[in-house]
Amino acid sequence: MDQALASLITSAAGTGAPTLTSSRYYGAATLPYTLPNGTQVMYLARRILPQASIYQSVRSYVVVDGDRLDNLAATYLGDPLLYWMICDANNGTDPDELTAQVGRSILIPLSSGIPPGARNG
């Protein structure tokens, strides 16, 4: 396996996503997959969505027109990259889906510390 490629994947091609402590992929394993032609491709191990009950909710928020989950995470959790915690706390996988319906009530979890089990199942 090419070390440069593994390094690129681990660093999320410059975004730092798997290496930032706020990332849902922080600490995720990098695994190889061998294509039929023998070429190895690196990928991040699958993340299993945790039970929403592991999050302590701080408040309920009613979605208004134009809301985006990254902006809500920045406002209520202090970091836009923590949008995934709001998804998890609401049993959601698509951030846009959580804010698509005006008037929908979503839970905003406590941001102080990521609960055990939130990452990688």
Q: Which domains, ranges and CATH numbers included, belong to the chain?
A: 3-44 (no CATH), 52-109 (3.10.350.10)
Q: CA-to-CA distance for 33 and 108, rounded, in angstroms?
A: 37
CB 98 within 8 A of CB 104: yes
pTM value is 0.63
87: nearest Cα among 120, 115, 117, 55:
55
pLDDT tens-digit readout, 45-83: 766 676 667 777 778 999 999 999 999 999 998 888 889
CB 77 within 8 A of CB 22: no
Q: What is the mean pLDDT of the chain?
A: 77
As a whole number of Å, the end-to-end CA separation of the chain is 27
- The confidence score (pLDDT) of residue 45 equals 73
- The confidence score (pLDDT) of residue 71 equals 95
pLDDT tens-digit readout, 89-105: 888 888 899 999 999 99
